[in-house]
Amino acid sequence: MEIIEDDLTGPAMRALLERHARGMLENSPPDACHFLDLSGLQVPEVTVWSIWDDGSLAGCGALREIDGRHGEVKSMRTADDHLGKGVGRKMLEHIVAVASSRGYRRLSLETGNGPSFEAAVHLYRSSGFEPCGPFDQYTESEFSRYLTLDLVDASGPVGSTAAEAPSAVDGGTS
């Protein structure tokens, strides 16, 4: 698998982001949908990557800089035909590595509650992310879950001892 910084112009990437948006809207209350649309992914503080497997788009993920010490995982999505192949874990490892190299001390994310988000939550928790309260612009919500990873105390590669997240569900982060 190859991860590249994506300029968001390719039709496969745009289709995957549209699938991500539909999934978030279908599985989240309207007031709890925090995914970034295309214009939100194209701002300077956001870096987006695509992950490719033998020429096929397998997934995507993004990193948003909150400030010089804190980043946010955004737009994690695995293409349906690549579920269960370790795509999400590989992308998350990449995002954590980039966040660490940028000097961030903390990496956080917001995701949903319910069956469609369980695989994503399992991936994050098995990778060392711990529950936290709302951060940055987020507020308390019965639907949202907030997780964070202390990059200063993180030891070893992300998920180095944990099993891959269940593949039956394709949830994600906003």
pTM, 2 dp: 0.86
| Binned average pLDDT, 10 residues per bin, the chain of 174 residues | 96 93 79 81 96 96 97 95 96 97 96 89 96 92 92 60 34 55
Query: Which is nearest to 88 in space by CA: 125, 61, 49?
Result: 61
What are 9-41's pLDDT values in tens digits? 999 999 999 998 888 778 777 777 777 788 889
Tokens of 169: 């569900």
CB 173 within 8 A of CB 111: yes
pLDDT at 166: 33
What are 95-106's pLDDT values in tens digits? 999 999 999 999
pLDDT at 27: 78
pLDDT at 173: 58
Question: At 112, phi and psi to the nearest 5?
Answer: -95, 180
Distances (CA, A) of 41 to 73, 98, 105, 142, 174: 12, 17, 22, 26, 11
Give the CA count within 13 Å in the CB-facing half-sphere of 119: 20
Rounded distance, CA 18 to CA 166, Å? Answer: 23
Give 77's strand partners. Answer: 60
